[in-house]
Amino acid sequence: MKVKAIKASAMDDNVLIFQPVEGWTGGKLPGNDYMAQSKDQSAVFRLDTSSAVVTSLGCKEISTPLSMAPAKIKNVTEVAAPKLTKVGKNGFAAKEGECAGEGPKGPVEIHFIDVARETQGDVWHYAIMVSFPKDSADLKAEAQAWARSLEFTGRSGYKME
């Protein structure tokens, strides 16, 4: 599948770069967030900046952006608790978790990455979420392409031991 580089404007230029899957549509949202969706809108990618002071993000914290159009996911529950791991093209430290919920067309899987960016002693959390219909192998593969393309060049608030 073909991808093209996008610079996430929720952070300074070139701090977080991801590559959308060709054929998906999307763009920048108000507040410097980003969203894209598959052709049939059944799979949604979203970058959301946490507006609250939190130590980390989980399914509860990301349920509000997941409830917004076009995903409109309700009843978000945790499937796999966020775990510290290396993610993306350049293997940066982040927490990765999994949720489930009900979308307009039935059950969905949600995979998310919590990027903690440290700046001048403060830590800001960015949720990178992708949702797709449960048991949709093709859309799951496209969603995983998003995660593999991530590059983060900022200072991570998470440290691998």
Q: Is pLDDT at 52 greater than 80 in this prediction? A: no
Q: Is pLDDT at 20 greater than 80 in this prediction? A: no
Provide, for the chain, the percentages of residues in helix, strand and coil under a 3-state DSSP scheme, each rounded to the nearest 5. 15, 50, 35
Considering only 17-26, 100-109, 152-161, which range has the smallest mean pLDDT? 17-26
Fold of 6-156: Protein Transport Mog1p; Chain A (3.40.1000)
- What mean pLDDT value characterizes the chain? 84
Which has more confidence, 78 or 118?
78
pLDDT grade, residue 113 (50/70/90)?
Answer: very high
pLDDT grade, residue 55 (50/70/90)?
Answer: confident
> Which residues, listed in sequence order, are joined to residue 159 by a DSSP beta bridge?
none
Contact of 157 with 123, CB cutoff 8 Å:
yes
Q: Is pLDDT at 2 greater than 60 in this prediction? A: no
Share of the chain above pLDDT 90, in %: 38
Residues 6+ apart with CB under 8 A from 46: 33, 34, 35, 36, 65, 66, 71, 127, 128, 129, 130
Q: Domain locations in the chain?
A: 6-156
Pairwise CA distance, residues 152 & 117, whole Å: 9
* Token couple for 75: 């009843």
Residue range 57-108, pLDDT digits in tens: 999 999 999 999 889 999 999 999 999 999 998 999 999 999 999 999 899 9
Q: Is pLDDT at 114 greater than 90 in this prediction? A: yes
